[in-house]
Amino acid sequence: MSRRPRVVVVGAGFGGLEAVRKLAQTDCEVLLLDARNHHLFQPLLYQVATAALSPADIAEPVRAIVRKQKNVQVLLREVTSVDLAGQAIHVGAEEVAYDWLVLAAGARTAYFGNDEWARLAPGLKTIDDAIEIRRRVLMAFEEAELEEDEEARRAKLTFVVIGGGPTGVEMAGALREIAAMSIPEDFRRVDTKTARVYLLEGGPRLLPTMSEEASRRALEQLEGLGVQVRLDTMVTEVDDGCVWVGDDSVAAANIIWAAGVEASDLTRTLGVDIDKQGRIEVEGDCSLPGYSRAFAVGDIAAQVDAATGEPVPGVAQGAIQMGAFVGEIIARELSNASPPPRRPAFRYRNKGEMATIGRARAVADVGGRTFGGVLAWLLWSVVHVAFLVGFRNKLLVMVHWAWQWLVQSRGARLITGGFAPRVADPVDLDEAARSAD
């Protein structure tokens, strides 16, 4: 008795999970592999980093997601390489054969040849990243409360976000809201409202993938919050507590990198053409050149929209659409004795782009129109809740947001890691108590 066809899906992100869903009614064995046991809703990761949400609010165990799909086996393993010619993946020393392959391994933070900056300016791609940024941000205020030296205190209350895409814009706005609205009454010796937030963007405008009107509105709203935006500003060096732009520098205790991503290292093991970001240059049907049963979707695929000729953006809706497209191809060809002579080319449907800047502040490009302010913020909120995986997560996020709206407080202000505050001149605790009185 011959075994059922095996479909191996590498990565439980948006694209990988959507491909798996499309195979639910197909007579095949699906192996879903990921190095982490959870699906992460990355568009809200910055809210974990800024203490608005907890990690469990935006993540769901992969096994729980596919629990009812009986043809799926989840393996908590990291794929180290792929043998396309031999139709096998390698998990350490183990080899796993496949009949069909879907690569959806995602992306990582890119420092463009300056990987030594990662320790000083963490990116935001994982829950671990978000928790570390949250720790650094909250510790900066604690250290400022204990700091006697005015210049050192000023540096601890300075935050620099590098990169003016959606993540950078959302981080900068959230940091300014924390300092100005969420925590001022929690401290006695330091005025958190004086905290400075810089947003540095190398290009001529923020949110370059959105309309110029959205970029203009985002800039206005950020500056209205008190964020200091610097356009056409290329970072040349990142030191411990300092960002350099040519001969100029900004002393900052917290530096956050949101300037770009690159595809998973897995793409470099395949022996196929990749672009400068490590993305696989796939065919129109998302397959790898020369391998009709191997596909790439999401952030690791350099795909072009068949309708417009434009690159498909590396966003959640692009990954979801590619995952569904590939899953349908596999399901259809597994169900038919003779596959069609020619597959359709992938067509991307842009349902809109949006970014939130803060409380009742956002921008959105939808249906050829640009929205800003409260309307865009409400639209952003509805869309993000709708795309969250799991009813529990949807409910919790809505409750958290409603509470924050009412009290302007962030409930996930937990410092983890056990690090003591670092101050140049430790404060006299008796004097601190007297000054608080």
**Separation between Cα atoms, residue 399 and residue 401, nearest integer Å:** 5
Please count the other Cβ atoms lying within 10 Å of the Cβ belonging to residue 262: 20
End-to-end CA distance of the chain: 82
**Separation between Cα atoms, residue 63 and residue 72, nearest integer Å:** 9
Work out the angle between the directed axes of helices 166-177 and 212-225 (0-180°, nearest 10): 20
Q: Retrieve residue 369's tokens.
A: 């129109």
Q: Retrieve residue 228's tokens.
A: 């200091």
Pairing of strands 361-366, 59-61: unpaired
Q: Which residues lie below 8 Å from residue 343, measured CB to CB, with a gap of 6+?
A: 284, 285, 287, 329
Could you confirm whether 170 is annotated as catalytic? yes
Pairing of strands 242-245, 248-251: antiparallel
Name the active-site residue from 142, 147, 170, 333. 170
Task: Select from 363, 368, 395, 367 the least CA-distant residue to 380.
Answer: 363
Please count the other Cβ atoms lying within 10 Å of the Cβ belonging to residue 91: 15
Task: Select from 132, 33, 21 the least CA-distant residue to 76.
Answer: 33
Active site members: 170
